Amino acid sequence: MKAIQFHEAGGPEVLQYDEVPVPEIGPGEVLVRVHAAGINPPDWYLREGMKVMPAGMRPALEFPLIPGTDMSGVVRAVAPDVLEFAVGDEVFGMLRFPGFDGRTYAEYVAAPTSDLAHKPAGIDHVQAAGVPMAALTAWQYLVDLGHDVPSPFTGQVHRPVPITPGTTVLVNGAAGGVGHFAVQLANWKGAHVIAVASGRHEQFLRKLGADEFIDYTRTQAADVVSGVDLVIDTVGGPDSSRFLTVLKRGGTMLPVFFAQYDPEETASLGITVSDIQVRSNGPQLAEIGRLFDEGKLQVGVDSTYPLPDAGSAHTRAAQGHIQGKIVLTVVS
């Protein structure tokens, strides 16, 4: 079969379209013919050699590596102990995360059934491949963590904040993968949703349920917003603390990407900061799938690239300002 792999860490140019063996399946696994694979930040973190992590925390990588965690496809074979899936089933999932063995940038993948759900009937494989990591991140932040594993960043177990009608939620980076699902899930829960993104995304986000929109290129949220219950910051970085002032006392900051906050400052403001490392969860993905079937969720697809052009897809990701997800097409 064909797959994308890399033999050394580096830029998008290290991604090669190679011939590799079809994987064998073990107990509790199915073989999936991949139709589409979603692209996520951990894919390029891995490709770069995990430089995003402090040097002392970086794992030792054994090359070559096939990147990718998210995929949608059709079951071609099942292990003898598998009862919940059958040959011919359309499935989607985020495989073996956290970890580096998802290997979804390929024509076939061996998938643990615990990480899979049946693909929603109302969306195609490209759309389904854009769902798992981004939607599960938003779900585990806002709805149900689904495990009791402490965050590796704080050592604490995240507790989702109850969202009820009247709750005000601000989503920074609202047009991206996690952001556009966070907007929809908060809206589904009845929250008043404030979306922060560049102006070109306004109509997209209003259609997804944003009640207010702030174009960050023109207006700073801290200048016009206050008394927010919950901030979901999907951008992170050194400037994340600027959103602390929009929160009311007792509010919560949820940074999706790496960000540092002064404990003394957050304590003085009465603000809780909590984060997670998203984990594979087939049952949660099935619940998310039901929301798609009920018309309560949509997935935005920024762009698609054929599997051999994975390097170009990573280059697009590095350019930022993505609306929804970037997806690799494997079966046309």
> Is the per-residue pLDDT at 33 higher than 90?
yes
CA angle 200–204–205, rounded 5-degree value: 100
List % helix, strand, coil for the chain (3-state, nearest 5): 30, 25, 45
- What single-letter DSSP state applies at residue 6? B
Q: In the block, which residue shows the tokens 């709750």?
A: 167
At 244 the three-state DSSP class reads helix
Average pLDDT value for residue range 104-118: 98
The model carries a pTM of 0.97
* CA–CA distance, 136 with 185 (Å, rounded to integer): 11
Helix (H, G, I), strand (E, B) or coil at 248: strand
The predicted-structure confidence for 259-279, as pLDDT tens digits, reads as follows 778 889 999 999 999 999 999
What pLDDT shows up at residue 172? 97
Question: Where residue 105 falls among pLDDT bands split at 50, 70, 90?
Answer: very high
Q: Which helix (H) or strand (E) holds 283?
A: helix 282-293
The answer to whether residue 58 scores a pLDDT higher than 90 is no
What pLDDT digit, counting tens, does each position of 5-19 carry?
999 999 999 999 999
Q: How far apart are CA 228 and CA 248, in angstroms?
A: 6
Q: What's the pLDDT score for residue 300?
A: 98
What pLDDT, on a 0 to 100 scale, did the predictor assign at position 209? 97
Give the mean pLDDT of 230-253: 91
What one-letter code names the amino acid at 130?
A: G
What pLDDT does 91 receive? 99
pLDDT at residue 173, rounded to an integer: 97
Per-residue pLDDT at 9: 96
| pLDDT at residue 282 tops 80 | yes
pLDDT value at residue 135: 98
pLDDT at 283 over 90: yes
pLDDT at 19: 98
Structure tokens at 142: 């806002």
Residue 153 has a pLDDT of 78
| Cα 217 from Cα 57, distance rounded (Å) | 35
- Which residues, 6+ apart, have CB-to-CB distance to 159 below 8 Å? 145, 274
Question: Can you name the residues that pair with 70 across neighbouring β-strands?
Answer: 38, 94
Q: What is the pLDDT of residue 262?
A: 87
Q: Report whether 298 contacts 205 (CB < 8 A).
A: no
CB 43 within 8 A of CB 69: yes
Distance CA 87, CA 78 (A): 7
In this prediction, residue 219 has a pLDDT band, given cuts at 50, 70 and 90, of: very high
Q: Are 90 and 72 in contact (CB under 8 A)?
A: yes
Grade residue 332 by pLDDT with cuts at 50, 70 and 90.
confident
